Amino acid sequence: PCTCSRTSVRAQATRMGIEGPIYPGTCRGRHPIPGRQHAMRLDTRGAVIEFEDRLQGVIRQDIGLALGDFVIWRVEDIASYHLAVVVDDAWQGVTDVVRGHDLLDSTPRQILLQRLLGLPTPRYLHLPLALGPDGQKLSKQNLAPALALETSARELARALDFLGQSPDEALREARPAEILAWAVRNWRPAAIPLMPRGGSSPS
C-alpha cells in the first residue's frame, strides 16, 4: 500500500526515470492503515524484462531502475491502466498487439504483470508515430484535425505508404474495403520504418 501523492513522490525522489521522478520506495513494506485511502504499488526491485518486438527488435528494461515501483491499483479504488489492459487482453484472448511506438516503454510492465498473474503474453509490434510539424503525434489528444470521411480511401493509401507497404497505384482509387483487404493479404512488418522519425507524418 502507498499513501504518497504525486507531489510527495516528486519531493522525495532522488532519481529521474523515463517517465519522470522515480518513486523512492517510501511506503514499501508497510501495511494498510484502516480508514486511510491508499494506492497499491508493485515492488519492482530486480524485475528485468526482455522481449522481442516484431519491429523494434529485442527490448530489455530494468523496471526498477527505469521506473521504480508502479501503481497497479489506484487510490480511487480502481485498477491501473496497466493491470486493466493485461487482464482485458487475456480475457479477450488477444494474441497480437499492434500499437504506437509511444507505448513501447509500457510493454515491460505489462509483461511483468502477465508473468506474475500466469497470463499469456501476446506478440507485440510498435509502429512509428505520425508527427506534425511541431513534433507532436497526430492524435485527438493533441487536437490534430480529423480526417474527412469522403477521402477515407486516399487516407488509407497514404497510411500504407507511411508504413512502407507501397500499395499499387490502381488500388488508390479502390473502395476502403478493397484497400484493407489488400493490406491484410500483403502486410509486411519488415518494411515498416523504425522510430524515432523526427517530424515524420504521412505525405
Give the residue numbers marked as catalytic: 140
- Apex CA 189: angle with CA 187 and CA 192, to 5°? 110
Element (H, E) at 89: helix 81-92
Measured CA to CA, the distance from residue 156 to residue 41 in angstroms comes to: 41
Measured CA to CA, the distance from residue 166 to residue 159 in angstroms comes to: 10
Q: Residue for cell digits 513534433?
A: 135
Pairing of strands 123-127, 16-17: unpaired
Are 125 and 96 contacting, i.e. CB atoms less than 8 angstroms apart? Answer: yes
Coil vs helix vs strand at 202: coil
- Count the Cβ atoms, other than its own, within 10 Å of residue 58: 8
Diameter over CA atoms, the chain? 68
